[in-house]
Amino acid sequence: SFSHYPPGHAFFVAKLSITKIWLIDFYGGAKILSPEEYFNASSAATAPTGFLPRTPTHSARPVFSAVRGMHSSPPWFWQKAKTARWMVANLAWGVLSTLSTRSEGSTIGAPFGNPYSFADVGGVPYLYASDLDASMVDLFVGTGANTSASLALSEAGLPGQPLDSCKIGTFLGDPENPPC
Protein backbone atom coordinates (compact mmCIF):
# COMPACT_ATOMS: atom_id res chain seq x y z
CA SER A 1 0.00 0.00 0.00
CA PHE A 2 1.17 3.51 -0.80
CA SER A 3 0.30 4.53 2.76
CA HIS A 4 3.54 2.80 3.82
CA TYR A 5 5.68 4.90 1.47
CA PRO A 6 7.87 7.52 3.14
CA PRO A 7 6.60 11.10 3.40
CA GLY A 8 7.31 13.14 0.28
CA HIS A 9 7.00 10.18 -2.12
CA ALA A 10 5.17 12.56 -4.51
CA PHE A 11 2.35 10.20 -5.50
CA PHE A 12 -1.09 11.75 -6.04
CA VAL A 13 -4.54 10.83 -7.24
CA ALA A 14 -5.43 12.06 -10.73
CA LYS A 15 -9.09 12.18 -11.77
CA LEU A 16 -9.81 11.92 -15.49
CA SER A 17 -12.34 14.50 -16.70
CA ILE A 18 -14.25 12.82 -19.50
CA THR A 19 -14.97 15.06 -22.49
CA LYS A 20 -15.89 12.39 -25.05
CA ILE A 21 -15.66 8.65 -25.56
CA TRP A 22 -14.75 6.96 -28.83
CA LEU A 23 -16.04 3.38 -28.60
CA ILE A 24 -15.64 0.56 -31.07
CA ASP A 25 -17.11 -2.64 -29.69
CA PHE A 26 -18.58 -4.33 -32.76
CA TYR A 27 -18.48 -4.20 -36.54
CA GLY A 28 -19.84 -1.12 -38.24
CA GLY A 29 -17.56 1.58 -36.95
CA ALA A 30 -17.03 3.67 -33.87
CA LYS A 31 -19.59 5.53 -31.78
CA ILE A 32 -18.78 8.89 -30.18
CA LEU A 33 -20.44 9.10 -26.76
CA SER A 34 -21.04 12.31 -24.87
CA PRO A 35 -20.31 12.40 -21.13
CA GLU A 36 -24.08 12.65 -20.55
CA GLU A 37 -24.77 9.41 -22.46
CA TYR A 38 -21.94 7.68 -20.62
CA PHE A 39 -22.86 8.77 -17.08
CA ASN A 40 -26.60 8.14 -17.62
CA ALA A 41 -25.89 4.49 -18.51
CA SER A 42 -25.36 1.76 -15.96
CA SER A 43 -22.58 -0.80 -16.23
CA ALA A 44 -25.10 -3.67 -15.95
CA ALA A 45 -26.19 -5.55 -19.04
CA THR A 46 -29.92 -5.72 -19.76
CA ALA A 47 -31.42 -7.91 -22.46
CA PRO A 48 -34.19 -6.41 -24.55
CA THR A 49 -37.59 -8.13 -24.35
CA GLY A 50 -37.77 -11.22 -26.53
CA PHE A 51 -34.02 -11.84 -26.64
CA LEU A 52 -32.13 -14.64 -24.98
CA PRO A 53 -29.55 -13.46 -22.43
CA ARG A 54 -26.11 -12.86 -23.90
CA THR A 55 -23.64 -15.45 -22.72
CA PRO A 56 -19.88 -15.21 -22.53
CA THR A 57 -18.08 -16.64 -25.55
CA HIS A 58 -16.39 -19.34 -23.48
CA SER A 59 -16.90 -21.05 -20.13
CA ALA A 60 -13.57 -20.01 -18.59
CA ARG A 61 -14.59 -16.36 -18.30
CA PRO A 62 -13.98 -15.11 -14.76
CA VAL A 63 -16.91 -14.65 -12.42
CA PHE A 64 -14.98 -12.92 -9.65
CA SER A 65 -11.91 -10.73 -9.55
CA ALA A 66 -10.32 -9.57 -6.30
CA VAL A 67 -9.35 -6.36 -8.09
CA ARG A 68 -12.75 -5.35 -9.48
CA GLY A 69 -15.43 -7.50 -7.84
CA MET A 70 -18.20 -9.32 -9.67
CA HIS A 71 -18.14 -9.50 -13.45
CA SER A 72 -21.43 -9.35 -15.26
CA SER A 73 -21.83 -10.34 -18.87
CA PRO A 74 -20.97 -7.54 -21.26
CA PRO A 75 -23.91 -5.47 -22.52
CA TRP A 76 -25.25 -6.00 -26.01
CA PHE A 77 -23.10 -4.42 -28.72
CA TRP A 78 -25.73 -1.79 -29.54
CA GLN A 79 -25.74 -0.57 -25.91
CA LYS A 80 -22.69 1.64 -26.46
CA ALA A 81 -22.83 3.77 -23.30
CA LYS A 82 -23.47 0.70 -21.12
CA THR A 83 -20.55 -1.07 -22.79
CA ALA A 84 -18.22 1.83 -22.00
CA ARG A 85 -19.39 1.91 -18.36
CA TRP A 86 -19.08 -1.90 -18.13
CA MET A 87 -15.49 -1.74 -19.39
CA VAL A 88 -14.50 0.92 -16.84
CA ALA A 89 -16.21 -1.09 -14.07
CA ASN A 90 -14.58 -4.42 -15.02
CA LEU A 91 -11.09 -3.57 -16.27
CA ALA A 92 -8.16 -2.79 -13.98
CA TRP A 93 -5.84 -1.10 -16.47
CA GLY A 94 -5.65 0.67 -19.80
CA VAL A 95 -3.15 2.63 -21.86
CA LEU A 96 -2.88 6.34 -21.04
CA SER A 97 -1.69 8.24 -24.12
CA THR A 98 -0.18 11.72 -24.04
CA LEU A 99 1.95 13.96 -26.26
CA SER A 100 5.54 13.71 -25.09
CA THR A 101 7.26 16.73 -23.56
CA ARG A 102 10.44 14.70 -22.99
CA SER A 103 13.51 14.41 -25.19
CA GLU A 104 15.12 11.53 -23.25
CA GLY A 105 13.78 8.19 -24.46
CA SER A 106 11.14 9.94 -26.52
CA THR A 107 10.68 12.70 -29.07
CA ILE A 108 9.00 15.94 -28.05
CA GLY A 109 5.51 16.06 -29.56
CA ALA A 110 5.40 12.31 -30.30
CA PRO A 111 2.44 10.25 -29.07
CA PHE A 112 3.32 8.29 -25.92
CA GLY A 113 1.31 5.36 -24.53
CA ASN A 114 1.83 4.11 -20.99
CA PRO A 115 0.00 1.19 -19.29
CA TYR A 116 -1.84 2.48 -16.23
CA SER A 117 -3.97 0.90 -13.49
CA PHE A 118 -7.05 2.87 -12.56
CA ALA A 119 -9.95 2.82 -10.12
CA ASP A 120 -13.57 3.23 -11.17
CA VAL A 121 -15.39 5.79 -9.03
CA GLY A 122 -18.91 6.22 -10.36
CA GLY A 123 -17.70 5.71 -13.93
CA VAL A 124 -14.76 8.11 -13.60
CA PRO A 125 -11.29 6.56 -13.92
CA TYR A 126 -8.89 7.68 -11.17
CA LEU A 127 -5.13 7.13 -11.44
CA TYR A 128 -2.61 6.99 -8.59
CA ALA A 129 0.49 8.62 -9.99
CA SER A 130 3.77 10.37 -9.33
CA ASP A 131 4.95 13.56 -10.99
CA LEU A 132 8.10 11.57 -11.83
CA ASP A 133 6.08 9.27 -14.12
CA ALA A 134 6.59 9.97 -17.84
CA SER A 135 2.86 10.44 -18.50
CA MET A 136 2.45 12.85 -15.58
CA VAL A 137 5.49 14.82 -16.79
CA ASP A 138 3.79 15.10 -20.20
CA LEU A 139 0.48 16.18 -18.62
CA PHE A 140 1.55 18.50 -15.81
CA VAL A 141 5.30 19.08 -15.38
CA GLY A 142 7.19 19.23 -18.69
CA THR A 143 7.76 22.31 -20.81
CA GLY A 144 4.67 22.61 -22.99
CA ALA A 145 2.67 20.18 -20.79
CA ASN A 146 -0.79 19.46 -22.19
CA THR A 147 -3.48 18.17 -19.82
CA SER A 148 -5.31 16.28 -22.60
CA ALA A 149 -4.86 12.52 -22.64
CA SER A 150 -6.63 9.40 -23.88
CA LEU A 151 -7.26 6.23 -21.87
CA ALA A 152 -7.62 3.20 -24.17
CA LEU A 153 -9.36 0.10 -22.79
CA SER A 154 -9.77 -3.37 -24.30
CA GLU A 155 -11.67 -6.45 -23.19
CA ALA A 156 -8.40 -8.25 -23.91
CA GLY A 157 -7.33 -6.79 -20.53
CA LEU A 158 -10.05 -8.56 -18.52
CA PRO A 159 -8.56 -10.61 -15.66
CA GLY A 160 -8.51 -14.38 -16.13
CA GLN A 161 -8.93 -16.14 -19.45
CA PRO A 162 -9.36 -13.87 -22.48
CA LEU A 163 -12.61 -13.86 -24.40
CA ASP A 164 -12.56 -16.05 -27.51
CA SER A 165 -13.03 -12.92 -29.64
CA CYS A 166 -9.72 -11.63 -28.17
CA LYS A 167 -7.67 -14.82 -28.60
CA ILE A 168 -5.47 -15.17 -31.66
CA GLY A 169 -6.04 -18.60 -33.15
CA THR A 170 -9.78 -18.79 -32.44
CA PHE A 171 -12.41 -18.07 -35.10
CA LEU A 172 -11.98 -14.35 -35.92
CA GLY A 173 -10.12 -13.96 -32.61
CA ASP A 174 -7.74 -11.02 -32.27
CA PRO A 175 -7.32 -8.26 -29.68
CA GLU A 176 -8.00 -5.79 -32.52
CA ASN A 177 -11.24 -7.56 -33.48
CA PRO A 178 -14.10 -5.08 -32.74
CA PRO A 179 -16.08 -7.57 -30.57
CA CYS A 180 -12.97 -7.86 -28.35
Domain membership flag for residue 145: yes
Domain membership flag for residue 26: yes
At 3 the three-state DSSP class reads helix
Domain membership flag for residue 172: no
Domain membership flag for residue 175: no
Q: Which residue, among 62, 73, 31, 85, has the nearest Cα to 159 in the 3D structure?
A: 62
* pLDDT recorded at residue 95: 94
Domain membership flag for residue 78: yes
Residue type, 90: N
Dump pLDDT digits (tens) for 153-180: 988 888 777 777 888 888 777 777 777 7
* pLDDT recorded at residue 47: 53
Domain tally for the chain?
Answer: 1
Question: Which stretches of 12-155 are DSSP H helices?
Answer: 35-40, 80-90, 134-136
* pLDDT recorded at residue 51: 46
Q: What is the pTM of this model?
A: 0.69
**Which structural domain, as residue segments, surrounds residue 88?**
2-43+62-166
Contact 96, 139 (CB under 8 A): no
Q: State how far the Cα of 113 lies from the Cα of 145, in Å rounded to an integer.
A: 15
Domain membership flag for residue 53: no
**DSSP state for residue 138 in the 8-state scheme:** I
Name residues of the chain where pLDDT drops below 70: 1-5, 27-30, 45-71
